[in-house]
Chain A
Amino acid sequence: MEKKRLYIQAAEQVSIQQPLSEQWMEDPVCYQDTFVRAINPSFRDYIPANEVRRMGNIMKRALVTGLKVLNDTGIAHPDAIITGTGMGCMDYTVRFLDTLVENGEQTLSPTYFMQSTHNTVSSALAIYTKTHGYNVTYSHGGLSFEQALFDAWMQMQLGTISTALVGGHDEMVESHFELLQKTGYIGVEGMVPCGEVAMSMLLNSDNSQDCLCELAGISICHKPTMDGLKRQVERLVHEAGMTMGDVSAVMTGVNGKAANDDYYMSVADTLFPNVPLLRYKHIFGENYTVSALGMYAAAHCLKRNAVPPFMYDTSRSLSCDTLRSILILSHTEGKEYALMLLKRP
């Protein structure tokens, strides 16, 4: 099967940085808190008040980023809408749970339940844009976005779709943050803050339009050995028509927690000892699908052919002379690894 080349045509975000803009590349907002909520855009500018009223934040943010991307690219109905979310509509889920506990299975809100299933975000995008194509949601913790992207990539290779709106979305609520903090997943001393994520991008197998960058490959594996991971990286790079030396930078999900960062540094030191390292979680925080924001950031860096200085991981005093490609590395507790290769077209 001849490999198709795929392009990220546009990507938009709502996060703890200024929404729907790349202002963070010049002037990032810096935080000291352990939990930071996303900065919301004015939703009314995109969605009528009557329709917005029932939606939780995660849905509004996903809609706005999705609508903006579709508008920017002039694609009214993508062939597919594929979404990754770690915890889905957590706000409404927790509210429903709270009232379940308080009211004891009586007088519960249908709205909270209806919008609590993980696929409501992806469906909302379809309902709003009247898009009948393929629509799926992946909910696999820290790999949810990668699985959504992988599905889109696969179907484009099969030729069943040529455009896909792919997104990673997650919100956070205070009570769940406190639970996660108690178990040491987040809110640990020295860690980046817990953030919120909404990122939509338009993937296209047609490169005639102006694009941000090329998605040159993606690979996901479960409990690989270091040798196994090395082979995956080499294969990914080779299939993209590149050599290991063509990888200009490696972007990792280091977040200030040793138990997390050690896995990244181990892979980077073994496979790419002399390559500049980039990081993004100190800008966007930590959450299940925050790697979507990493990809968004990498795509915009490639478009501008420049990396903001604060994105370099200072554990290496290396920076990029040329920016041809970025390899994005994600892992979940050292068990599952995702590799995503972006390059300038």
Chain B
Amino acid sequence: MEELVTELKKEIIEALNLEDITPEDIDADAPLFGSGLGLDSIDALELIVLIEKKYGIKLKDPSKSKDVFKSVNVMAQFIAENRTK
């Protein structure tokens, strides 16, 4: 799981073009949206694309993204349970 969390941090940084941020800067339990990294609705859509592209998970309902992308750890858990790649 730790490996997945580290990998996920790198993927998020790349997908969202968080130029100034390193994986070490991201607290895996901190909220991704609102506070914490302060991501927004477009970032949520990009993360939906990311999990499909990289992990083969199709999230059809964008309103579920708030729960799935709550934090890096929550996201990693969801991926571990649902990945097809």
Contacts and interface: CB of A to CB of B under 8 A. Distances in A.
Direct contact of A and B (CB under 8 A): yes
Interface of A: 49-50, 53-54, 106-111, 114
Interface stretch (B22-30, B38-46, B73-81): B38-46
B19 interface: yes
B63 interface: no
Contacts of B18: 53
Interface residues on B, range: 10 to 19
Contacts of B46: 109-111
Interface of B: 16-20, 38, 42, 45-46, 49, 52-53
Contacts of B53: 107
A247 to B, nearest CB: 49
A130 B71 CA distance: 31
Contact of B42 (A49, A106, A111): A111
11 contacts: A53-B17, A54-B16, A54-B17, A54-B42, A106-B52, A107-B49, A107-B52, A107-B53, A110-B42, A110-B49, A111-B46
Contacts of B45: 110
A67 B65 CA distance: 35
A46 to B, nearest CB: 16
Given A54-B42, A114-B42, A109 B20 contact: no
Contacts, number: 24
Given A50-B38, A54-B42, A109 B19 contact: no
Contacts of A54: 16-17, 42
Q: Which of B17, B45, B46, B49 has the largest number of chain A CB atoms within 10 A?
A: B49
B15 to A, nearest CB: 8
Nearest to A54: B17
Contacts of B38: 50
B49 A53 contact: no
Given A110-B42, A111-B42, A114-B42, A49 B49 contact: no
Nearest to A55: B17
A53 B42 contact: no
Contacts of A111: 42, 46
Contacts of A49: 19-20
A142 B19 CA distance: 34
B49 A109 contact: yes
B57 to A, nearest CB: 11
B19 A53 contact: yes
Contacts of B19: 49, 53
A110 B42 CA distance: 7
A110 B16 CA distance: 11
A47 to B, nearest CB: 12
Q: Which of B38, B42, B52 has the largest number of chain A CB atoms within 10 A?
A: B42
Contacts of B49: 107-110
A107 B85 CA distance: 14
A255 B15 CA distance: 40
B3 to A, nearest CB: 23
Contacts of B52: 106-107
